[in-house]
């Protein structure tokens, strides 16, 4: 093989490099996997022993030369003749798409995280409940008008713990209180998020299925002022530190005193001069402690419950509750 | 509850602007839902909580406003009427159903239009004035809260009042003109032969007072609250009376109501009192006095209050309070049946002071007795994150489904939990699987032209065994592709499998996909997911029949459902570090042709079993299904990775292991090297 001729040829052909494409073709011809240099090396195995050193050197020299020529040419192209490929940086980035978490579970996560940071433990309790957990244990007697606000779906399933009674779909997350207190002694600081069901006709603000979050704190010497303080702290963290809120008396069978909490519409950037109800709360009624067999007078505690949909609607300006369950991807992808 | 402010002023003048009065009421627990102006009248629409039936009348609210403002209530002056020697025949079958019935007979009445001032009052309630006799009953009901009824006495057969349960199938036409069929769960007022009123709910047409009525029997009674509630619900019939009875009416108010109405009827109708009978059974044990010391208030509210302050507040609400040393003994008035124990008094104090004036503190949250198994929540969180990273959007669907949709999903044979009182038949069943609630989401989006969907939900499914947390995943339409690639490709089985593999990888769970028929899934494109041999779910292409049932024509739909309760039961991911390889790996590619029906998985499995300890991995590279291969065959390319953690492998070692793999797959599967 005439190596000096090969070198001449390499120099000659290097003159023809005009752009990145021809430069790459040139590189492949000499230095590619099946290029000339590789061929020379491959021929080594069949070469006579005394020729091997010379052939090897020649191949290396050729490689060095070609690399040098390419480098020279590249410098030139950078400065003068050849334009490098332009990247259009305004084209969209390429990556796999990210999915979107539903705004309801995001809201639950957000609220749960506030309370967990304040020391609460999250427990999930069943949706299919007994009358005892949903009503009686919460001081809501049968055939009492206080049941009106807790209209309930009943199931074709028997309650094995109560003769002749049927299981139901919980109408609030408060049965979590009874379940957990039945099994555990105070101190307890627990939140219970989950789905609840009420036979409400569906419209922009009602749904027969929605989500709630129940919270309760039971210990010796828990006070109403603690409830006010905790919920004030929650509202500041969830709605922002300038939130304006008020506690007003209300009635729930399972708390005494009971209150509802409103926040000012102005706080949410709404122009209307109005208070918006966000949650119900109160000091746990002694009858609830009695139902879970806590010693009389030993513990006090508070409980609160809020609607997740309502919180999400207020925070994100969603006007129709049905949007949550329609799952239009245009809605899902906004959050 | 409507509160006409002019009417209120008959008893108390709060001397407050309407807006301020409304605010003060709200902050004392009387939510003002609306302020309406009807002609000259300003009417507050109040929400009265179910425990406060004593405030379902104007005087009750006047008393509350007195406690808030310190102004005094002027009660109307009412004569009292004693039972007469002439008896009205009143018999009460069960005193539990009716603990008091005062009948007052007024003779020689002139039934006519009410005078103007009474009509104004009735109008302000949004009611239509009817006649002096009827308007008086409505007026007294709203003034003091006692429901009343007037009968045309001459139409009561035998002149008798019998309070009894209805007979099965007994009928009555109520004053609204509707015939009601009764049964023994309903209490009625009857004469000798027929029911003349549904007790506490509505009177009968036959015995109603008309312009020709000469003699009037006024009923003022007390009926059992639970009984009235049940009857009213059963009959689907509510009235101002039943609303109050089911919330409990003051037993002592029965007499006050009878006297006030008697007074007005005598005045307005020109009749004479002929007889009064009070059939009373004191069934309730008198309310026990409640003890309270101010420290109890401080303990519960965090607010220091003086004995005198507590006394002043409770007295303003008509409680009888006596003080001995540092203790108060409190007797609530008869109309406050909601006051039973010390906390109830504490609430009265708190409410009257105003919750906004109570102190605020942060609770001490101590170490809990409760240790929670957080594993399920962590699993759900990990899955959510993995799914979102795979580009899948989360949905929240309704928990109920129906037979029609289950049928369309070929799932009618799944065990079902039925809702006994659904709002509509669309929600008659609790969903046994997520498929029948996912399909409407698909259709809804398709109808809006959104044909590429990747959605998941982590929520409950239901069976007679109970509820279980389930993961549903659905993919349809074109695969996500970036703009560098021109062709849009439809998603296929490998897409759903890939998402699931990512999920289980994130959980550190080894899952296998095994071919098995599953009703909803396509025979060739369906698989069962197993962990350690136990099935945990399924994944695959939806059956053609399902697609046609839902009228989906031009694209495949892939669906997976995983029983997460089984995943929760698996041990949490725990990773032990493996030392990184120090010696180089040798890679040998294998390209072969095999019969189409031989699954790649079987070949890989065989390779792994034949490769010996130095075969550390088998990686799939590609599958060729084109026509440049003999008919009935497919091309497969994969690579075998050989490595030792103690030395650099010699060529002969790798060759030997690789040869045994090649021999096995050519021998066992008839594979041909390409």
pLDDT on residue B268: 95
Chain B residue with Cα closest to A149: B50
Pick from B303, B466, B482: which is nearest to A128 by CB?
B466
Same structural domain, A174 and A232 = yes
> Does some domain include residue A94?
no
Pick from A229, A259, A328: which is nearest to B445 by CB?
A328
pLDDT on residue A1: 63
Same structural domain, A71 and A107 = no
Cβ A187–B366 below 8 Å, yes or no? yes
Task: Report the distance separating Cα B144 and Cα B58, nearest Å.
Answer: 7
Domain count, chain A: 2
Cβ A99–B26 below 8 Å, yes or no? no
- Percent of chain A whose pLDDT exceeds 90: 59
A267 Rama sector, left if φ>0, alpha if ψ -120 to 50, beta otherwise: alpha
Does pLDDT of A173 surpass 70? yes
Low-confidence ranges of chain B (pLDDT < 50): none
Length of chain B: 674
Which of A36, A64, A79 is a domain's end point? A79
Cβ A230–B363 below 8 Å, yes or no? yes
> Does some domain include residue A250?
yes
In sequence order, the 6+-apart residues with CB closer than 8 A to the CB of B664 are B606, B607, B610
Instruction: Please report the ipTM that was assigned to this predicted complex.
Output: 0.88
Q: What is the pTM of this model?
A: 0.85
Strand arrangement, sheet containing B89-92? B89-92, B160-165, B187-190, B195-198, B202-203
CB atoms within 10 A of CB B575: 6
Between B448 and A84, the more confident residue is B448
How far is the CA of B91 from the CAs of A266, B245, B257, in angstroms?
Answer: 61, 20, 20
CB atoms within 10 A of CB B227: 22
> Does some domain include residue A283?
yes
> Does some domain include residue A87?
no
pLDDT on residue A83: 58
Rounded-to-5 percentages of helix, strand, coil across chain B:
30, 30, 40
With an 8 Å Cβ cutoff, is A298 touching chain B? no
Same structural domain, A45 and A130 = no
> Does some domain include residue A55?
yes
The H or E element spanning position A306 is strand A300-307
pLDDT digits (tens, 9 = 90+) for B609-622: 999 999 999 999 99
Task: Report the distance separating Cα B643 and Cα B586, nearest Å.
Answer: 6
Same structural domain, A236 and A302 = yes
Cβ A155–B420 below 8 Å, yes or no? yes
Task: Report the distance separating Cα B359 and Cα A148, nearest Å.
Answer: 33
Which of A63, A79, A95 is a domain's end point? A79
| Domain boundaries B375-480+489-568, CATH class | alpha beta
Residues 185-224 of A with CB under 8 A from B: 185-190, 195, 197, 199-202, 208-209, 217, 219, 221-224
With an 8 Å Cβ cutoff, is A123 touching chain B? yes
pLDDT digits (tens, 9 = 90+) for A254-296: 999 999 999 988 777 766 668 889 999 999 999 999 999 999 9
pLDDT on residue B635: 93
CB atoms within 10 A of CB B398: 18
> Does some domain include residue A190?
yes
Task: Report the distance separating Cα A156 and Cα B420, nearest Å.
Answer: 6
Taking the domains of chain B in order of start, what are their residue ranges? 2-69, 89-280, 290-356, 375-480+489-568, 586-673
How far is the CA of A332 from the CAs of A205, A328, B388, in angstroms?
Answer: 19, 6, 12
Same structural domain, A127 and A74 = no
- Residue linked to tokens 């120090």: B582
Q: What is the DSSP letter of B605?
A: H
Task: Report the distance separating Cα A111 and Cα A115, nearest Å.
Answer: 7
Phi/psi at B475 (5° precision): -130, 135
What CATH number labels B2-69? 3.30.56.10
The architecture in CATH of the region B290-356 reads 2-Layer Sandwich (3.30)
B248 Rama sector, left if φ>0, alpha if ψ -120 to 50, beta otherwise: left
Strand arrangement, sheet containing B320-324? B290-292, B327-331, B320-324
- Residue linked to tokens 């500041």: A236
With an 8 Å Cβ cutoff, is A154 touching chain B? yes
Q: Which residues of chain B make contact with A329, given a CB cutoff of 8 A?
A: 393, 445, 450, 453, 455
- Rounded average pLDDT over A61-73: 86
Among A228, A246, A253, A274, most B C-beta atoms within 10 A, so best to mutate, is A228
Same structural domain, A127 and A199 = yes
> Does some domain include residue A282?
yes
What CATH number labels B586-673? 3.30.70.380
The verdict on domain B89-280 having CATH code 3.40.50.150 is no
Same structural domain, A68 and A117 = no
pLDDT tier for residue A35 given thresholds of 50, 70 and 90: confident
pLDDT on residue B427: 93
Residues 81-120 of A with CB under 8 A from B: 91-92, 94-102, 104-105, 118-120
- Residue linked to tokens 């004469």: B191
CB atoms within 10 A of CB B272: 12
CB pairs under 8 A between A and B: 255
Q: Which residues of chain B make contact with A166, given a CB cutoff of 8 A?
A: 420
The H or E element spanning position B463 is strand B453-463
Q: Which domain holds residue A180?
A: 103-332
pLDDT tier for residue A71 given thresholds of 50, 70 and 90: confident
Poorest-pLDDT segment among A116-120, A150-154, A327-331, B226-230: A150-154
Q: How close does chain B come to A43, measured CA to CA in Å?
A: 22
Cβ A225–B356 below 8 Å, yes or no? no
**B58-69 vs B132-144: helix axis angle to the nearest 10?**
30
Q: What CATH number is associated with residue A288?
A: 3.30.930.10
pLDDT on residue A69: 86
> Does some domain include residue A92?
no
Task: Report the distance separating Cα B632 and Cα B597, nearest Å.
Answer: 9
For chain A, how big is the Rg over CA atoms in Å?
38
Pick from A95, A100, A249: which is nearest to B355 by CB?
A249
Residues pairing with A307 in the sheet:
A212
Chain A residue with Cα closest to B441: A327
Pick from A189, A224, A250: which is nearest to B368 by CB?
A189
With an 8 Å Cβ cutoff, is A304 touching chain B? no
Q: Do domains B290-356 and B586-673 have the same CATH topology?
A: no
Same structural domain, A56 and A167 = no
């Amino acid at each position: 093989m005439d190596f000096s001729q090969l070198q001449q040829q390499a120099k000659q052909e290097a003159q023809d490099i005009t752009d990145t494409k021809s430069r790459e073709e040139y590189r492949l011809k000499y230095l590619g996997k099946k290029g000339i240099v590789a061929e020379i090396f491959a021929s080594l195995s069949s070469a006579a022993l005394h020729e091997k050193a010379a052939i090897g050197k020649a191949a290396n020299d050729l490689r060095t030369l070609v690399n040098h020529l390419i480098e020279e040419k590249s410098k030139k192209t950078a400065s003068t003749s050849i334009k490098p490929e332009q990247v259009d940086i305004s084209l969209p980035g390429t990556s796999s798409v990210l999915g979107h978490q539903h705004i309801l579970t995001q809201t639950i996560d957000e609220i749960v995280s506030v309370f967990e940071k304040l020391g609460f433990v999250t427990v999930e309790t069943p949706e299919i409940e007994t009358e005892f957990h949903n009503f009686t244990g919460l001081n809501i007697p049968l055939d009492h008008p206080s049941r009106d606000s807790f209209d309930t779906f009943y199931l074709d399933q028997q309650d094995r713990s109560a003769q002749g009674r049927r299981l139901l779909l919980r109408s609030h997350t408060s049965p979590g209180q009874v379940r957990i207190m039945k099994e555990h002694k105070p101190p307890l600081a627990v939140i219970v998020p989950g789905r609840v069901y009420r036979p409400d006709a569906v419209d922009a603000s009602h749904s027969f299925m929605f989500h709630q979050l129940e919270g309760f704190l039971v210990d010796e010497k828990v006070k109403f002022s603690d409830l006010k303080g905790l919920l004030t702290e929650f509202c500041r963290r969830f709605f922002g530190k300038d939130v304006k809120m008020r506690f007003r008396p209300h009635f729930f069978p399972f708390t005494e005193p009971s209150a509802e909490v409103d926040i000012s519409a102005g706080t949410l950037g709404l122009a209307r001069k109005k208070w918006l109800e966000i949650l119900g709360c109160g000091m746990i009624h002694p009858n609830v402690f009695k139902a879970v067999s806590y010693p009389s007078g030993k513990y006090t505690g508070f409980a609160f419950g809020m609607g997740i949909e309502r919180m999400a609607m207020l925070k994100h300006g969603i006007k129709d509750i049905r949007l949550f369950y329609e799952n239009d991807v245009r809605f899902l992808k906004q959050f | 509850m409507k509160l006409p402010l002019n009417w209120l002023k008959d008893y108390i003048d709060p001397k407050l602007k309407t807006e301020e009065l409304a605010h003060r009421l709200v902050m004392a627990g009387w939510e003002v839902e609306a302020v309406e102006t009807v002609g000259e009248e300003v009417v507050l629409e109040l929400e009265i909580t179910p425990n406060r039936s004593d405030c379902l009348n104007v005087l009750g609210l006047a008393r509350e406003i007195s406690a808030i403002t310190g102004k005094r209530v002027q009660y109307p002056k009412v004569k009292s009427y004693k039972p007469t020697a002439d008896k009205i025949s009143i018999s009460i079958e069960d005193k539990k159903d009716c603990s008091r019935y005062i009948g007052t007979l007024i003779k020689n009445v002139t039934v006519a239009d009410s005078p103007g001032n009474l009509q104004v009052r009735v109008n302000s309630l949004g009611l239509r004035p009817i006649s002096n006799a009827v308007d008086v009953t409505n007026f007294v009901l709203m003034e003091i809260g006692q429901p009343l009824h007037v009968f045309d006495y001459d139409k009561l057969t035998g002149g008798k009042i019998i309070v009894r349960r209805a007979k099965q199938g007994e009928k009555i036409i109520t004053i609204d003109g509707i015939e009601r069929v009764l049964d023994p769960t309903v209490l009625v007022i009857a004469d000798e032969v027929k029911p003349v009123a549904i007790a506490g709910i509505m009177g009968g047409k036959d015995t109603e007072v008309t312009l020709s009525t000469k003699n009037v029997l006024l009923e003022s009674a007390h009926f059992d609250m639970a009984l009235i509630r049940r009857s009213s619900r059963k009959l689907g019939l509510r009235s101002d009376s039943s609303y109050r009875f089911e919330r409990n009416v003051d037993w002592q108010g029965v007499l006050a109501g009878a006297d006030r109405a008697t007074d007005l009827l005598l005045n307005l109708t020109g009749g004479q009192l002929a007889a009064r009978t009070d059939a009373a059974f004191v069934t309730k044990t008198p309310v026990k006095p409640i003890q309270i010391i101010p420290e109890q208030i401080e303990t519960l509210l965090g607010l220091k209050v003086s004995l005198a302050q507590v006394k002043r507040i409770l007295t303003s609400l008509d409680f009888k309070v006596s003080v001995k040393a540092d203790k108060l003994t409190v007797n609530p008035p008869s109309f406050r049946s909601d006051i039973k124990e010390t906390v109830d008094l504490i609430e009265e104090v708190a409410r009257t002071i105003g919750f906004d004036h109570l102190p605020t503190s942060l609770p001490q949250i101590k170490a809990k007795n409760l240790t929670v198994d957080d594993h399920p929540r962590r699993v759900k969180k990990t899955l959510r994150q993995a799914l979102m990273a795979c580009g899948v959007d989360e949905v929240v669907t309704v928990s109920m489904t129906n037979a029609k949709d289950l049928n369309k999903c070929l799932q009618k044979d799944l065990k079902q939990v039925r809702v006994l009182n659904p709002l509509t038949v669309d929600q008659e069943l609790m969903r046994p699987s997520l498929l029948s609630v996912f399909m409407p989401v698909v259709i809804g989006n398709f109808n809006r032209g959104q044909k590429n969907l990747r959605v998941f939900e982590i929520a409950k499914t239901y069976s007679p065994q109970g509820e279980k947390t389930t993961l549903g995943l659905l993919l349809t339409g074109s695969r996500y592709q970036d703009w560098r690639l021109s062709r849009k490709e439809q998603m296929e089985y490998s897409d759903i499998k890939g998402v699931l593999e990512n999920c289980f990888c994130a959980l550190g769970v080894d899952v296998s996909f095994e071919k098995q028929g599953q009703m909803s899934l396509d025979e060739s494109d369906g698989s069962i997911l197993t962990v350690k041999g136990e099935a945990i779910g399924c994944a695959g292409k939806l059956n053609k029949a399902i697609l046609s049932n839902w009228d989906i024509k031009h694209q495949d739909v892939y669906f997976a459902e995983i029983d997460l309760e089984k995943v929760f039961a698996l041990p949490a991911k725990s990773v032990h570090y493996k030392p990184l390889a120090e010696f180089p790996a040798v890679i040998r590619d294998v390209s072969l042709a095999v019969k189409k029906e031989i699954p790649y998985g079987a070949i890989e499995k065989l390779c792994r079993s034949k490769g010996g300890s130095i075969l550390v991995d088998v990686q799939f590279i590609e599958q060729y299904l084109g026509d440049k291969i003999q008919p009935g065959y497919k091309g497969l390319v994969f690579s075998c990775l050989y490595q030792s953690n103690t030395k650099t492998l010699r060529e002969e070692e790798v060759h030997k292991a690789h040869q045994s793999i090649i021999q096995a797959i050519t021998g066992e599967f008839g594979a041909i090297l390409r």
